[in-house]
Amino acid sequence: MKKTDEQLISDYLEGDEKSLEVLVDRYLMNIYNFAYKLVNDRQVANDISQESFIKAWKNIRKYRQGSNFQTWLLTITRNTAIDWLRRKKDLAFSTFEDEKGVNIFTETLVDGEPSFLELLTRAEDTTFVEALLNELNPKYRDVLTLRYSSDFTFEEIGKLLKRPLHTVKSQHRRALVALRRLLEIQSV
């Protein structure tokens, strides 16, 4: 019978080293893929994944029983990636965004056809799509990555990113508008 994450954590805290290996094996690919989507660099994603598991190991006693372990681990990964991106210091932030995160420019754009999935279907090159995503504000990119790469619901995204549900939905809509706009610019 497959043990739950909580059982494995409890076993590890009681001295069973193998339980931690099972947890790492269970989530390694998800963590790596998530890190890669955030930083778009395989080596950096490897480093972030490794650092995330080290942080989880060091803070395993802080994990709250009853909460979702994968969400906890993804939060650590996201924060680790953000730290790396801050050190990189070449983030592309919109000049139209105010201190509250409201982008006047994208707010006034019409959210019409085609849909996000149609745009991705049209894009023949994964590198092209990744380049478009990298041009988005990181908070918008996070929402899209979690929604479409990790199949998270808006509620799960809100919990992971510690944002209200309506904010996540709004950022999702803004991200789609910005992505459509970038695609239109690229196709001209």
Please, which residues have CB within 8 angstroms of residue 21's CB and are 6 or more apart in sequence? none
Residue 65 · residue 6 · CB < 8 Å: yes
Answer yes or no: do 109 and 180 share one domain: yes
**pLDDT digit string (tens) for 57-103?**
888 888 888 788 888 898 899 888 888 877 775 444 444 455 566 65
Please give the mean pLDDT across all residues of the chain. Answer: 78
pLDDT tier for residue 142 given thresholds of 50, 70 and 90: confident
Answer yes or no: do 77 and 114 share one domain: no
**10: its two tokens:** 């409890």
pLDDT the model gives residue 92 = 45
Environment class of 41 (CB within 10 Å of its CB; exposed 0-12, middle 13-18, buried 19+): middle
CA distances from 46 to 60, 61, 105 (A): 21, 24, 36
Judge whether 96 lies within some domain.
Answer: no
* Alpha-carbon torsion (63, 67, 71, 27), positive or negative: positive
pLDDT the model gives residue 95 = 44
Judge whether 94 lies within some domain.
Answer: no
Answer yes or no: do 82 and 18 share one domain: yes
pLDDT > 70 fraction of the chain, expressed in percent and rounded: 76
3-class secondary structure, 174: helix
Give pTM, 2 decimals: 0.53
Top-confidence range, 41-45, 131-135, 146-150: 41-45
**Residue 99 vs residue 177, higher pLDDT:** 177
Q: Is it the case that residue 119 has pLDDT exceeding 70?
A: no
**188: its two tokens:** 């001209």
* Residue recorded with tokens 């706009």: 181
Q: Which CATH number goes with the domain that contains 26?
A: 1.10.1740.10
DSSP letters spanning 74-118 = HHHHHHHHHHHHHHH------TTB-TTS-BHHHHTS---SSPHHH
Q: Which CATH number goes with the domain that contains 111?
A: 1.10.10.10
Other CB atoms within 10 Å distance of the CB of residue 81: 24
